[in-house]
Amino acid sequence: MTKRIKIIYWIATLWLASGMLATGALQLLRMKAEGAVAPPGVEGITHLGYPVYFLTILGIWKILGVLALLVPRFPLLKEWAYAGFFFIMSGAIFSHIAVGDPLKEIFPSSLLLVLTVVSWYLRPPDRKIISNQ
């Protein structure tokens, strides 16, 4: 693995981790901006047609996924975290498309999806599952 690829991997992984950690924390806290009717997460999730309790589920899984990605070893757990991030973000993209949201609403999920794929693809050998074939 070249130094350049390693740098790109860590930039993508840390950006992905910070994005997932931030959105996961906001989903768990359900913080409301001053003057807002409802917290953005609650407003967004109900706009997409999902129940509010999904915020708790998504928030917990995102934070656990970040821990799985950043902690050394446990390659199988990392694979599950990447898969979970892929499903959450692709589901968010298609949910926004289904309700007719503009591109600016789809961009954050798309960015996190791209970062998930880049981080997964460029991960170092010690973070991959070794095949016993």
Whether the per-residue pLDDT at 30 is higher than 80: the answer is no
User: At a CB cut-off of 8 Å and minimum separation 6, what does 69 contact?
Assistant: 13, 16, 17, 78, 81, 82, 119
What is the share, in percent, of the chain residues with pLDDT greater than 70?
A: 91
User: At a CB cut-off of 8 Å and minimum separation 6, what does 35 contact?
Assistant: none
- Span 66-121, pLDDT tens digits: 999 999 889 999 999 999 999 999 999 999 999 999 999 999 999 999 999 999 99
- Is pTM beyond 0.85? Reply is yes
pLDDT score at 40:
65
pLDDT score at 32:
56
pLDDT score at 31:
60
